[in-house]
Chains A and B, each alone.
Chain A
Amino acid sequence: MPPQTTATQKSSQKLPANPGETITKLVAGIGNIILGKGDIIRLALSCLLARGHLLIEDLPGMGKTTLAQGLARALGLEFQRIQFTSDLLPADIIGVSIYEREAQTFRFHPGPVFSQVVLADEINRATPRAQSALLEAMEERQVTVEGTTHAVPEPFFVIATQNPSNQTGTFELPESQLDRFLMCVHMGYPDHHAERALLTGGDRREQLASIRPLLTPAELVALQARIPNVHASAALVDYVQALLRFSREAPGFRLGLSPRAGLGLLRCAQAWALIDGRNHVLPEDVQAVLPSVAGHRLQGAEDSTQISQQELLARLRAVPIP
């Protein structure tokens, strides 16, 4: 397919001089702000490189906003935050057309969604209507307002956070909406040393401001375009398929992983491999991203012995590598 080839060639021209080193620096740079969470940073970066969106499920105050801001700054991207509340309206997200008397026309004032990195905070506190406005933008990468289509900027990366669903006043995201997030991660508490460094260290806000961009947006797009070309051998694809098949056939799983989940798993593994400085994917890469990519899409079968997601993941993790 000639057009695609040209696109790849074009983007490869914009690749950073040394992608491996750049990525290492990126991880290190963000790691200075979010302490002791190297894996989460790498996962978030994989998700971004695989052109997916990230859902972070955790309690307030765990560093979700800092992570999003740190990513945006290190990648040289613009950043917007939307605090979701129960009275949030779709227009508050995508923007409104306002009549301008001088020009005698309606002019579209883009909402916060028109940003390269969007932090959608506490997404499950808004009504489903508001949620779906964001989710459509995520999936389509464009917003249609009164017949006019507005493309969101490139790259476009949504980080949504979600409170544990057992808290009051939440609208749980339905499975179909959850599926739109490529990954779902849990930040978790920092370990002893990280927490110590956090408590004795300087002001986060100042440190955040001190991060200088390591990539141009164009270079990031070029990196994203490289992900599908990271070599996934037949044996590796066999493994991914074995995982998908297991989730569909083994007892205990209510729903198998969707083809979209399968593709996402492969892309994330490819991104992970690239971050790891390799140009081919290993089963270990798949295993590294598996909990984040598959976890939120799995549900235990409905019977008396409810199986937790952790248990289902453990079973998937035990699938033999062909």
Chain B
Amino acid sequence: MSITSAPLTRRALAMLLLALTAAAAPHAFHLPLGIMLFVIVCGLWRWMVERAGWPLPGRTLRAVLTIAALSFVVLIFGTVFGRDAGTALLSVMLGLKLLELRNYRDAMLTLFLGCFLVVVMAFHSQEIPVAIALLTALLLLTMALIELHRDPSARGPMRNLQPAAMMLLAAAPLAALMFVLFPRLPAPLWGLPADAHGKTTGLSETMSPGAISQLATSDEIAFRVLFDGAPPAAEDLYWRGPVFWHTDGRNWSVGNHPGMTASPRMRPDFTPLGAPINYTVMLEPTGQSWLFALDLPYTAPAGGVQTEDMFLLTGQPVREPRHYAVTSYSAHRTPELSAAQRERALQLPDANPRTLALGRAWQEEGLAPETALQRALAHFHNEEFHYTLSPPMLSGADPVDSFMFETRAGFCEHYAAAFTVLMRAAGVPARIVTGYQGGERNPIGDHLIVRQRDAHAWAEVWLPAQGWTRVDPTAAVAPERIQHGSADLLARSGINARTRYDFGLRPLLDRVSASWDALNTRWNAWVLAYGPDAQSSLLARFGLRSWLAMTLALAGTIAIVLVLITLLTRSARQPRDPLVELHTRFRSRLARFGIMTEASEGPIALAHRVRQRNPELAANVDMFTALYVAMRYGKKNHTPSDLRHLRRTLANLGR
């Protein structure tokens, strides 16, 4: 019986199912429950076939199950393409394959499917726990692979652990090499599906009422910052993102103007004052192409540019964690506005007539911009305005009016938007800046953690004396948000679950979570942030400046390693009988035709089997076997001409 059709031992099956479970388990976090259940049921069924003698499903039932599973996937995702639908499809197909898992060949196929599941999981998450889970799955898959090829008489419950670990360890240098040298292109190299990187939470390209308050309860990390010196005061931590000029009365957008993309400049258009602040940002994927930096960034990191609006932009959406160093100045002076800029900074639609009327009244009073600004802030401070995480919906055609005169409860974007509209109505050029405000210090890693709940929107007004000046209307309503950060605010509004269940362990829990975050920071900085820019700057130090050079370096290094391995193992091996060598080659040649040989199979028995299976090979195989047998087991001497004849026969095999 050839190895490919040999039935599986119970041990091998158990090992295989265990490894597949480990490979599929991490997907439970994103796959629909139904898909996961389907795979589990298939696995259990296969196990009951082994344990309790249940029958495997017949051809018809399998066909029905396949169609049902396919339809299920299409029903849920509307397609079978893309990352999520693809993963689901892979999972159900793996489950179906288990239902016809009989022999070695099927087992190998499911093992490879398992490995593919592991790879696919990396598209979904590359966090430390996931990495550990995937590594474990890989180890178990390797153990199952060994079990499939191993003499069943070997003993010990974990007997495959050590060889599997050794194999993975032996593969680690190659993996490290690939990690460093494999070309990382800014754009996906081989057409990853559009959703391969998943949805990311965070700020978006437009701002409407309620957009930022959605983020207010998210503990997800936006980025981490490591300052070179002492960090600035909490109320100065404004992390600048996209700048919005254009409004239709409800939504704010970057607008149809060149500030966003065009005229990137090496040096920003402002005069720095005061001391520089140097720091490194470790940004989580945003799916957007801006890079957050402290108000106002003076230098652009590698791969990024300064825009006219004084925020940082990169060529490609940030899909991988990214690491960059920036210098900022919190005090600055910006130049005179151009006529076009002034016009854009005063743009107003006809909506929100009451707010416009209020602003225009101030302009008619002849208030100076500074006075108008103070008047507006005082208005927010003195009237019955509330800062709330769950603002009421503003559904009418004049949302700013509703907010200003009716609900009077809102989150930062409501205040920023209302303030900016007021200022523009009063004739003061103004715009909205979105980004993050504040951050939480991690005492272990000594870095600042900025979370999605720190997302913020504020305004900038143009004052003749200073140029663009940051004004945060939220501070007028809820100064504690700016001074103590979002966590404090959440805690007081009772939303944050962490503070509810305490049991007096808070200091310990804080410490554990700080350590965990510090570890994640390292992981991000050293592993995940190694993207195209980090790679090109690292390899540039070794003189590799183009993708071509990098690829050649990778191929060259792998070739050298392979040659070294071959040489080392060859010299370690006993010099072999040329006949034995030839017979080994003969067997591997047969393997190309799907004829798997076993070491315990005699030459005549093998030739006989080939004659049965592949009659077209019989002539050459018989010729080879006859000569080989005569030389190895008969009294015939090994003459060079006989060896040549054997080699020729081997070369002719299967031509």
Which B residues from 611 to 641 make CB contacts under 8 A with A? 629, 632-635
Which of A42-50, A75-83, A231-239, A257-265 has 4 or more CB atoms under 8 Å from chain B?
A231-239
**B632 and A235 contacting across the interface, CB-CB below 8 Å:** yes
Query: What are 8 contact pairs spanning A and B, CB under 8 A?
Result: A231-B634, A235-B633, A279-B634, A280-B635, A284-B605, A287-B602, A321-B599, A321-B600
**A317 and B633 contacting across the interface, CB-CB below 8 Å:** no
Which listed residue, B155, B600, B632, touches A251 by the CB 8 Å rule? B155
> Contacts of A319 on B, CB cut-off 8 Å?
600
B612 CB, min distance to chain A CBs, angstroms: 16
Which residue of the partner chain A has the closest CB to B635? A231
Which B residues from 593 to 611 make CB contacts under 8 A with A? 598-605
**B632 and A233 contacting across the interface, CB-CB below 8 Å:** yes
> Contacts of B604 on A, CB cut-off 8 Å?
282, 284
Asked whether A321 and B602 contact (CB < 8 A) given A250-B153, A251-B155, A282-B629, the answer is yes
Question: Within 8 Å of chain B (Cβ to Cβ): is A202?
Answer: no
Question: Within 8 Å of chain B (Cβ to Cβ): is A31?
Answer: no
| Distance between Cα atoms of A241 and B633 in the complex (Å) | 15
**B155 and A280 contacting across the interface, CB-CB below 8 Å:** no
| Distance between Cα atoms of A210 and B599 in the complex (Å) | 46
B366 CB, min distance to chain A CBs, angstroms: 101
Question: Within 8 Å of chain A (Cβ to Cβ): is B151?
Answer: yes
Which listed residue, B580, B599, B600, B602, touches A282 by the CB 8 Å rule? B602
> Contacts of A235 on B, CB cut-off 8 Å?
632-633
> Contacts of A283 on B, CB cut-off 8 Å?
602-603, 633
| Distance between Cα atoms of A279 and B151 in the complex (Å) | 34
Q: Mark A208-243, 1 if CB is under 8 A from B, else 0.
A: 000000000000000000000001010110000000
Question: Within 8 Å of chain B (Cβ to Cβ): is A315?
Answer: yes
> Contacts of A320 on B, CB cut-off 8 Å?
599-600
> Contacts of B635 on A, CB cut-off 8 Å?
231, 233, 280
The interface on chain A, measured as residues whose beta carbon lies within 8 A of the other chain's beta carbons, has a size of: 21
> Contacts of B605 on A, CB cut-off 8 Å?
284
| Distance between Cα atoms of A236 and B633 in the complex (Å) | 7
B95 CB, min distance to chain A CBs, angstroms: 33
The interface on chain B, measured as residues whose beta carbon lies within 8 A of the other chain's beta carbons, has a size of: 17
B12 CB, min distance to chain A CBs, angstroms: 16
Question: Within 8 Å of chain B (Cβ to Cβ): is A252?
Answer: yes
Asked whether A252 and B599 contact (CB < 8 A) given A231-B635, A284-B604, the answer is no
Q: Which 8 pairs from chain A and chain B are nearest by CB?
A: A320-B599, A284-B602, A283-B602, A280-B634, A233-B633, A318-B600, A235-B632, A280-B633
**A282 and B603 contacting across the interface, CB-CB below 8 Å:** yes
> Contacts of B603 on A, CB cut-off 8 Å?
282-284
> Contacts of B602 on A, CB cut-off 8 Å?
282-284, 287, 321
| Distance between Cα atoms of A319 and B599 in the complex (Å) | 7
| Distance between Cα atoms of A231 and B632 in the complex (Å) | 11
B578 CB, min distance to chain A CBs, angstroms: 13
| Distance between Cα atoms of A284 and B604 in the complex (Å) | 7
B260 CB, min distance to chain A CBs, angstroms: 70
B628 CB, min distance to chain A CBs, angstroms: 11
> Contacts of A252 on B, CB cut-off 8 Å?
153
| Distance between Cα atoms of A279 and B580 in the complex (Å) | 22
> Contacts of B155 on A, CB cut-off 8 Å?
251
> Contacts of B601 on A, CB cut-off 8 Å?
321
| Distance between Cα atoms of A287 and B601 in the complex (Å) | 9
Question: Within 8 Å of chain B (Cβ to Cβ): is A281?
Answer: yes
> Contacts of B632 on A, CB cut-off 8 Å?
233, 235
Which residue of the partner chain A has the closest CB to B631? A233
**B153 and A315 contacting across the interface, CB-CB below 8 Å:** yes
| Distance between Cα atoms of A235 and B632 in the complex (Å) | 7
| Distance between Cα atoms of A43 and B153 in the complex (Å) | 29
A248 CB, min distance to chain B CBs, angstroms: 15
**A251 and B153 contacting across the interface, CB-CB below 8 Å:** yes
Tell me which of A233, A252, A322 has the highest count of chain B C-beta atoms within 10 A of its own C-beta: A233
> Contacts of A317 on B, CB cut-off 8 Å?
600
| Distance between Cα atoms of A315 and B600 in the complex (Å) | 10
B598 CB, min distance to chain A CBs, angstroms: 8
> Contacts of B151 on A, CB cut-off 8 Å?
315, 318
| Distance between Cα atoms of A315 and B155 in the complex (Å) | 14
Which residue of the partner chain B has the closest CB to A236? B633
B53 CB, min distance to chain A CBs, angstroms: 22
Q: Mark B155-199, 1 if CB is under 8 A from A, else 0.
A: 100000000000000000000000000000000000000000000
Q: Mark A271-301, 1 if CB is under 8 A from B, else 0.
A: 0000000011111100100000000000000
**B634 and A233 contacting across the interface, CB-CB below 8 Å:** yes
- A233-B632, A251-B155, A284-B604 given; name 12 further pairs at CB < 8 Å: A231-B634, A233-B635, A235-B633, A250-B153, A280-B633, A280-B635, A281-B633, A282-B604, A284-B605, A319-B600, A320-B599, A321-B600
B622 CB, min distance to chain A CBs, angstroms: 15
Which residue of the partner chain B has the closest CB to A318? B600
> Contacts of A321 on B, CB cut-off 8 Å?
599-602
B19 CB, min distance to chain A CBs, angstroms: 25
| Distance between Cα atoms of A318 and B601 in the complex (Å) | 8
Tell me which of A235, A281, A284 has the highest count of chain B C-beta atoms within 10 A of its own C-beta: A284
Asked whether A282 and B633 contact (CB < 8 A) given A318-B600, A321-B600, the answer is yes
Which residue of the partner chain A has the closest CB to B629? A282
Which residue of the partner chain B has the closest CB to A284? B602
> Contacts of B633 on A, CB cut-off 8 Å?
231, 233, 235-236, 280-283
Which B residues from 522 to 562 make CB contacts under 8 A with A? none
B202 CB, min distance to chain A CBs, angstroms: 60
A313 CB, min distance to chain B CBs, angstroms: 12
| Distance between Cα atoms of A284 and B633 in the complex (Å) | 11
